[in-house]
């Protein structure tokens, strides 16, 4: 493998950081790479908030499902789906009046615009992760930023068309960091050819075979009989997932209405 593929292959989530700081030069390299990420129509429908205030980091360590390592991360970046700067620019350019003059209906951002901005933000985020990894800097995505929308909106003074999509912690890995890569599904169960392939029966069992093997090696409550039941209660139907859905509904209402 070439060096880029080695970096991608070896990347894992890092939650424990050494005292070695991220230098200004390293940070600038990460930012420079991030801003070269693919973007819809070259509109860069995202913004990034670098969180330097320790009080805000401490707050996020609580609001993001109580994860103390967030407060200790040397670099914390919040990626936003951001159409606000374009809406403001449209207003600055007199677009609404121009639409009236041309008897054209003026539209505001809706669901499709949000999804496009979300894609832009996540593409930029992953570019930052790979750039950091190439510099020996570990990272960890914090999906829990999708929870507690009202708190995070107020904390970062977010306008209507700027929504938190992902939070990422960066830092040089501590020497005792586990370097073992997590397992992934087999290629044939993820890569489909020409059309979606739905797995049923024994084929579906085969897809989740390694998942069940890992489950069998662990201790679980007597009422949990297999990996599917475990993931349902631990991930899909857990309190954080329910809060996330509630929070995202509020994001959508705020964005569209």
pLDDT at 182: 85
SS3 content of the chain, % helix, strand, coil (to 5): 50, 10, 35
Q: Read off the pLDDT of residues 88-126 as tens digits, 9 standing for 90 and up.
A: 999 999 999 999 999 999 999 999 999 999 999 999 999
Q: Is the pLDDT of residue 80 over 80?
A: yes
Contacts of 257 by beta carbon, 8 Å cutoff, 6+ apart: none
Report domain 3-179's class.
alpha beta
Each residue's pLDDT tens digit, 127-141: 999 999 999 999 999
Prediction pTM value: 0.94
Query: Can you list the alpha helix ranges (DSSP code H) found in 102-224?
Result: 111-134, 149-155, 187-190, 201-207, 209-216
Please list the residues that pair with 219 across neighbouring strands: none
């Amino acid at each position: 493998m070439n060096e880029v593929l080695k970096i991608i292959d070896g990347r894992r989530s890092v939650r424990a950081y050494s005292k070695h700081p991220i230098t200004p030069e390293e940070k600038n390299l990460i930012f420079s790479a991030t801003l070269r990420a693919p973007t819809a129509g070259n509109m860069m429908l995202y913004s990034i908030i670098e969180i330097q205030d320790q009080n805000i980091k401490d707050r996020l360590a609580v609001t993001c499902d109580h994860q103390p390592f967030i407060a200790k991360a040397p670099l914390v970046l919040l990626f936003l789906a951001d159409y606000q700067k374009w809406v403001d620019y449209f207003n600055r350019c007199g677009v609404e009046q121009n639409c009236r003059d041309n008897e054209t209906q003026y539209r505001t951002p809706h669901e499709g615009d949000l999804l496009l901005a979300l894609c832009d933000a996540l593409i930029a985020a992953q570019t930052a992760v790979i750039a950091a990894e190439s510099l020996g800097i570990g990272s960890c995505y914090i999906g829990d930023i999708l929870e507690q929308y009202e708190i995070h909106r107020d904390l970062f003074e977010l306008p209507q068309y700027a929504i938190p999509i992902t939070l990422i912690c960066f830092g040089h890995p501590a020497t005792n960091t586990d370097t073992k890569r997590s397992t992934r599904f087999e290629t044939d169960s993820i890569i489909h050819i020409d059309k979606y392939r739905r797995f049923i029966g024994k084929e579906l069992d085969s897809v989740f075979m390694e998942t069940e093997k890992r489950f069998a090696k662990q201790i679980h409550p007597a009422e949990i009989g297999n990996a599917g039941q475990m993931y349902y209660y631990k991930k899909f139907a857990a309190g954080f997932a329910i809060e996330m859905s509630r929070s995202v509904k509020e994001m959508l209402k705020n964005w569209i209405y």
